[in-house]
Structure 1
Amino acid sequence: MTEASPIAPPLGATLDTPAGDRRPLAGIVLFAALIVIAGAVLAPIAATALNGFKALGDLQTHPFNLPQSWIWANYWDILASVRYWQVLGNSLLIALLTVALTLALSSMAAFAFAHLKFFGDRFLLSYLQLGLLFPLATAILPLFITVRDLGLLDSYLGVVLPQVAFSLAMGVLLLRNAFRQLPAELLDAAMMDGCGYFRYFFFITLPLSGPILSTVAVISFVASWNGYLLPLVVFNSESRYPWTLGLMAYQGQYSTSWQLVLAFITLTILPAILMFLVAQRYIVAGLTAGAVKG
């Protein structure tokens, strides 16, 4: 009788250390790394919010401690001011218009690239995706000239339309790949039942693409909400300032009251954080659906 050959240990394991003993250690290291990364991201936000409750002297002497006395008036005075709600409303209007136009245009273009074959479709798709290579700052001068020639200076559309143009590349890339992953049998069955492309797009494709549409919406909203350079170039009237420019004006007025500036920052970034928290369950699923090369 021949002796049974010993079972080879798994890859990466030694005879002294079983593979199963390494998995808890790897999990602990990964968890610790995630805690460190989360702390590095959340610490500035928490410090900004807490310092907004301090008096100026407390902020200058103990910038990293909890407030010695919680001054809620720093926040209540901003919430009661007209300027805060004005800049918040301007940012919300610009962001919502940008999201609506980005979703409408990118979804229709992505559907055409995903299901229709026409001359030059690959060239047009590649040309459109070149927009991912160029940041907004590189095109700010020609954008200003174009917006000025169109008579859109100091108007909301002068900011919304360029933001939509720069959001289309990412939107089309994600949506096209997600649309191509829908079962082809759905399109075949719809065509056999007399359903055209328009009805298939509105009644089948869009309802089944909620996660990826939410992902594109969140990305466009946050990018628009945090926009600074384009509104700075386009807007002349302070009544049209979004929160980024409103913060600049507010800081100029209260340059010696940093606790009020920090409270203003906290209140203005709060809507973007809340929207991200509400839509975060869709983001991972949406990016996964649109990340596979079609």
Structure 2
Amino acid sequence: MNVRTPRGKLLRNTGLYIAAFVTAAFVATPILFALLGGFKDNQQLRENALGLPSPWNAEHYTDVLTSDSFWRQVFNSVFIALATTVIVVGCAAMVAFVFARFAFRGREALFTLFAAGMMFPFAVAVLPLFIILRTFELLNSPLGVILPQAAFGLPLTIIILRSFFRAIPGEVEEAAVIDGAGPWLFFVKILLPMARPVLATVSVLALVGSWNSYLLPLVVLSRPTWWTLPLGVTQFQGQYASDTAKVLAFVMLAMLPALIFYAFAERHLISGLTSGGTKG
């Protein structure tokens, strides 16, 4: 059947809508289960796990929100994620600018070395990384999480930014040089403003990746003072293993900042990926 006919278009669109609905349901179901489960007690969870709370009980959410440890973990996660994002995007932008706009011997080999970092799993580096951080006395310090996260986030960010920077026409740089702008001024005043969509994209990726990081904080941070929310969730589950409803409330509140941020940043993420794909 020709998909260009009205009937063909209807069948094609119906298939897309069904696939989108199934995907959305697959993603939203555990979130809704955690959200509603936090308003129930354990008896309701046992007897009516998939139904609406009856009665609605906000005690679990208020207990978590009035806990000092929860807000300390929120602050730690925000601080570490923002610091990691600033380092990753700032350093990657400068490195990608050099790889994209300067020709020098060994450039492609060096770029390949950076790109190879994407194929290096973090789990393999846990032991040597732990020894290095212990040598520099960075254990139980936010820097012990921020710096390795930034290092592991650089390869993908450099690849994305280099592709975008290379797509900028050479005439733009030539016009800037004629106006008296050097490489640094061209980078700061012209290239970075033009790269706002892709900078927003890599910022979102770095921020969300840092926010959801679990293994690295687990290895580095043994004291509760600098625990992030993923570690807090694990600790809370162990402390309230018999109170499933309260654990669901904590998990939901721990997910909420990332969900809100991603909802607002989705437009920038999609536009950045689209611009990178169309200009590359």
**Equivalent residue number for residue 162 of structure 1:** 148
One-letter amino acid of the counterpart of residue 158, structure 2 = V
**Equivalent residue number for residue 210 of structure 2:** 224
**Equivalent residue number for residue 96 of structure 2:** 110
**Pick from 161, 181, 184: which aligns with 2:170?**
184
Deviations 1:139-183 (CA, angstroms, capped at 9, x unpaired): 111111111111111100000001001100110011111111223
Return the offset for 1:21: 2.6
Q: Which TM-score applies when normalising by structure 1? A: 0.92
**Pick from 122, 127, 135: which aligns with 1:149?**
135
One-letter amino acid of the counterpart of residue 107, structure 2 = D
Return the offset for 1:135: 2.3
Q: Counterparts of 2:138 and 2:160 in 1: how far apart (Å)?
A: 30
| Conserved 8 A contact 2:164-2:279 | no
**Equivalent residue number for residue 208 of structure 1:** 194
One-letter amino acid of the counterpart of residue 44, structure 1 = P
Q: Counterparts of 1:205 and 1:129 in 2: how far apart (Å)?
A: 22
**Equivalent residue number for residue 41 of structure 1:** 27
One-letter amino acid of the counterpart of residue 209, structure 1 = A
**Equivalent residue number for residue 86 of structure 2:** 100
Q: Counterparts of 1:109 and 1:289 in 2: how far apart (Å)?
A: 20
**Pick from 235, 258, 264: which aligns with 2:244?**
258
Q: Counterparts of 1:271 and 1:195 in 2: how far apart (Å)?
A: 41
Structure of greater Rg: 1
| Conserved 8 A contact 2:164-2:276 | yes
Return the offset for 1:292: 6.5
The farther-off stretch of 86-95 and 176-185 is 176-185
**Equivalent residue number for residue 285 of structure 1:** 271
Q: Which TM-score applies when normalising by structure 2? A: 0.96
One-letter amino acid of the counterpart of residue 44, structure 2 = D
- What's the C-alpha RMSD, in Å, of the aligned pairs? 1.5
Deviations 1:41-77 (CA, angstroms, capped at 9, x unpaired): 1111111111011011101221111111111111111
Q: Counterparts of 1:261 and 1:110 in 2: how far apart (Å)?
A: 43
One-letter amino acid of the counterpart of residue 138, structure 2 = L
Q: Counterparts of 1:216 and 1:78 in 2: how far apart (Å)?
A: 32
Return the offset for 1:274: 0.9
Percent identity of equivalent pairs: 40
**Equivalent residue number for residue 68 of structure 1:** 54
One-letter amino acid of the counterpart of residue 251, structure 1 = Q
